[in-house]
Amino acid sequence: MKERTLAIIKPDAVKKHVIGDIIRRYEEAGIPPIALKMMTLSKDQAEGFYAVHNARPFFQDLTTYMASGPVVVLALEGENAIKVNRDLMGATDPKKAETGTIRAAHGASIEANAVHGSDASETAQVEIAFFFPELKS
Ligand code: CMP
């Protein structure tokens, strides 16, 4: 099933100059971007985006980190895009991520883990609408 997912190339990956490597992986996996932009999130935007995590102990650190430098936000589209992207990313903690995944290659810590990807169809829709309200299905 053709679907869409939201990805963010996080500040650590932008600083390491691996935007190109990460986008190449999306393209080669058959989930190329259909919309993308580079931006620096405000703390409010980061808190709004990660609102589902607002009761977690890492919420303040996470949102401060995500607002600490430029990110690249992408809407990806392709067959089974959500699962394909989750498999490409690897486990949240780069130390546990499988060899060959984006987080194993580029992640430094559970916070600076190179990329975000939507975890389910409902969150993908909400997350895409958050950054690309103009994008029609
Ligand atoms: P992400 O996929 O962007 O979704 C939420 C983020 O919270 C996650 O990746 C991690 O970078 C970050 N995070 C920080 N600490 C934790 C933790 N203990 N458990 C899960 N996620 C964490």
Tens-digit pLDDT string for the chain (137 aa): 899 999 999 999 999 999 999 999 999 999 999 999 999 999 999 999 999 999 999 999 999 999 999 999 999 999 999 999 999 999 999 999 999 999 999 999 999 999 999 999 999 999 999 999 999 87
Q: Which atom of ligand 1 is nearest to the CA of 10?
A: 3
Which is nearest to 7 in space by CA: 109, 17, 27?
A: 27
Give me the pLDDT at residue 1, please.
86
CA-nearest residue for atom 10, ligand 1, is 111
CA 6/CA 4 separation, integer angstroms: 7
Give me the pLDDT at residue 136, please.
83
Give me the pLDDT at residue 134, please.
95
Any ligand 1 atom below 6 A from CB of 63: no
**In the chain, at which residue ranges do the beta strands (DSSP E only) sit?**
2-9, 33-39, 71-79, 115-117
**In 33-95, at which residue ranges do the beta strands (DSSP E only) sit?**
33-39, 71-79
17 assigned to active site: no
Give me the pLDDT at residue 8, please.
99
Distance (Å) from CA 119 to ligand 1 centroid:
12
Alpha-helical regions (H) of 92-133:
102-106, 121-131
Give me the pLDDT at residue 125, please.
97
Beta-carbon neighbour count of residue 1 at 10 Å? 7
Give me the pLDDT at residue 137, please.
76
Residues 90, 104 contacting (CB under 8 angstroms): yes
